[in-house]
Structure 1
Amino acid sequence: MSFENFRQAVQALAEAGWLPSALGWGFAVNAMLAGLVVGPMLGGLGTLVVIRRHAFFAEAVGHAALTGVAIGILAGEPYTGPYGALFGYCLLFAIGLEYLRGRTGLSADTLIGVFLSMSLALGASVLLILAGRINVHILENVLFGSILTVNGTDLAVLAAVGALVMALTAWLYNRFMAASFHPALAVVRGVPVRRLDYLFVMLVTVVTVASLKIVGAVLVGALLVIPAAAARTVARGVRGFWWISVGIATFATLAGILLPMQFDLPVPSGAAIILVAGSCFLICALIRALRGDA
């Protein structure tokens, strides 16, 4: 079955009342398919982000993406998908930050603050140059996500990134965990900790960039952190931690996409997704408190 046939089948089921009526629109089907990739991808990788204490780094990459978009448009890329500049700039941002983290003696949050400030200053300067050439709504879509603009190219990029990230994460998950909990012991056991550190920041970067149109640059880091933080409050072990995080992230993504369309709410998809994820976190925190765990 081709993608177009699948989309028509989903729309037919929505029109017949078997699925929510919002899925009667083609763009809504595109957005839901994207959500089925974004949710598990961010939820699974988010467990490592929380364990490795990279929450601030994930937020910084999301904000750096705005500068990547501005550079892409300035270089002549289409404003609907400046993926070359986005991936290129954000990967340079992440690799440069990781390189200096191990060679300057500065704390990670200090370096991230320096890099983020410089990146935002560069982005603001480029945006001023482009002020007369772009529509402000383009920037709103980048900052907060826009399901209306998800197209076949975006789905293809998401699918490729999702397959790569999930495969690498599943293959190297135990090594990532070992390098996170006890780096010195991991080195003794032959785990290439520094290489894994570089690989990890690159995975976080490509996931962040690929998810921009659904969640938005401002909020994509939050979806990496909140489901994993919620899962950690109630999970009994590593396996449960991973599955609960994936479940919450997937549910939040799909609900955040569908609810504003279903009830005609003027809420950006990214904001709705984070609000649902935040509600899940509060519920999990309450369960933890009522359970009486230390």
Structure 2
Amino acid sequence: MVTKTEETQLNRLENQVDNGGGGAWEYLCLVKKLKVRRPDKVLRHGLSILNDPKKRSALGPDVWTLYEQVSIAAMDCQCLDVAKDCIKVLQKQFPESKRVGRLEGILLEAKGLWAEAEKAYSSLLEDNPLDPVLHKRRVAIAKAQGNFPTAIEWLNKYLETFMADHDAWRELAEIYVSLQMYKQAAFCYEELILSQPTVPLYHLAYADVLYTLGGVDNILLAKKYYASTIDLTGGKNTKALFGICLCSSAIAQLTKGRNKEDKESPELQSLAAAALEKDYKQRAPAKLLLLTSALKSLKTS
């Protein structure tokens, strides 16, 4: 996460370099450090250094890092000839490098040569089976071709080793949701909540999946996770507030005819509805009437 101070520093340097004020190398180092995507800027200012023998030699060993940075930016910008030239320089300098091998695979991906790229990654994985980047590149290839069963297979295999990779669990969950495999998605979100219990996004996504699965037990649990999302966000998550109202309405319908003790209290729904109305009065007063009508239709008896 880029802090406000870092963002200000980045924007200042970017403006300086764009207007010919110097500091290109410092700017490129900051972009790399903050892991932000500025491919067009990196390509332009990186090439301005690499194409100048004096500036290039002044970098010393850091020049190889710049070649790598520019090659990736070039692929992002679809300047594949530039990327190819940068990778050739790196190949000559580091002929046995697995890191350069990854760049070759990414270039094959950029060209749409999926089979060749997958073969390159598989070969590299034989020598280094614990390289997370290679595993993720194979998943990316499968997704790019719409081959979701293979993407799921490789993600699951990856997570057997890298169980603490939250991004991978989330990606797997999102693939499952896209395929309407909600039970499997629910398992992924459970893992995420166990490892990062204070992230409201995971509580909200889990509640959505449970609500979609349906049934009294799932919707009761969904309501609890919508409530925890509201708690973690200080009551400011509109989607979770709507979720409370939807769950309360669904539970009332599903438990109709049961004993009074089995029914849910409408108190939480009333609080959520009041919070929504207050929020809409402040942010979208023109839509308040529509909201009120929708909430009225959901109101439980």
The answer to whether TM tops 0.5 is no
Q: TM-score range by the shorter chain?
A: under 0.3
Instruction: Tell me the TM-score normalized by structure 2.
Output: 0.21
Instruction: Tell me the TM-score normalized by structure 1.
Output: 0.22
Q: Higher relative CO (CA 8 A, sep ≥ 6), structure 1 or 2?
A: 1
